[in-house]
């Protein structure tokens, strides 16, 4: 069911005697990344209370297909849309996902419970042709959220999440557990992870990105200005105790 990975009873994953998912996984990765500029005040509003320091005004929309993902063996692949900003926290130069959408329920739940991911459920399309063009969409519960078309073009600029050769590494989030009696957190902490990832050199291209208004998923309210887009692939993408840097950095509540 989960490839070669085992379940860990009494690991903290419910149910205690028969956990819903393993704590390790692997897959390959194919990503169309659209780098945009967003009003810094909108980014700051989403980071409020986290302690994370915004680095710039860029937001990356990453449409990510994970063929062979071991948390989604029965479907053959998992998909994520990660909407990402670069941040600093303590001595870390890293990134946080202000919105995330995931096609697999176990991928969604495990990400939220273990690492505080902002993942919500979605359906998707991610189709590549023989010439390297990619098109797709993201839909949540019958509401279209995003559509994109990417075509390789050597004349297009390559714009990364930050300027310079060094890009932010890993991911950081505030993990929250809601209070059962009232609408507030019962528990909050800051969690960081750095997974193995060996992306190919970015392949530049032109992109058409469309975002749709949604009351419950207001990603269109970011009103992003597209700066550039590129395609990347990695044969290495995995999570596990011996493979990645996983840290609980700070307990916030209680």
pLDDT in tens, 49-59: 999 999 999 99
CA distances from 72 to 2, 78, 109, 236 (A): 7, 6, 13, 17
The CATH number assigned to the domain holding 246 equals 2.40.400.10
Q: Give the pLDDT score at 120.
A: 98
Q: Is 201 left (phi over 0), alpha (psi -120 to 50) or beta?
A: beta
Residue 141 falls inside a structural domain: yes
- In tens, the pLDDT along 66-110 reads 999 999 999 999 999 999 999 999 999 999 999 999 999 999 999
pTM of the model: 0.97
Range of the domain at 140: 25-253
Q: Is residue 9 part of a domain?
A: no
């Amino acid at each position: 069911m989960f490839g070669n990975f085992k379940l860990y009873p009494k690991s903290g994953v419910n149910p205690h005697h028969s956990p819903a998912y393993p704590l390790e996984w692997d897959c390959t990765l194919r990503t169309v990344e659209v780098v945009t500029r967003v009003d810094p005040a909108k980014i700051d509003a989403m980071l409020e209370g986290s302690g994370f320091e915004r680095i710039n005004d860029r937001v990356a929309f990453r449409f990510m297909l994970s063929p062979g993902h071991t948390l989604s063996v029965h479907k053959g692949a998992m998909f994520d849309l990660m909407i990402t900003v670069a941040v600093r926290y303590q001595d870390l130069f890293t990134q946080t996902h202000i919105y995330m959408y995931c096609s697999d329920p176990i991928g969604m739940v495990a990400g939220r419970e273990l690492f505080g991911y902002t993942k919500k459920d979605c359906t998707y399309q991610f189709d590549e042709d023989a010439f390297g063009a990619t098109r797709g969409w993201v839909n949540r519960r019958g509401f279209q959220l995003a559509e994109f078309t990417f075509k390789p073009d050597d004349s297009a600029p390559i714009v990364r999440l930050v300027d310079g050769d060094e890009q932010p590494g890993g991911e950081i989030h505030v993990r929250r557990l809601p209070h059962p009696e009232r609408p507030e957190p019962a528990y909050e902490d800051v969690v960081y992870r750095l997974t193995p990832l060996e992306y190919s050199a970015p392949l530049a291209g032109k992109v058409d990105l469309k975002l749709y208004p949604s009351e419950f998923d207001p990603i269109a309210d970011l009103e992003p200005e597209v700066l550039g887009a590129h395609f990347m692939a990695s044969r290495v993408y995995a999570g596990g105790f011996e493979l990645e840097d996983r840290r609980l950095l700070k307990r916030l509540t209680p």
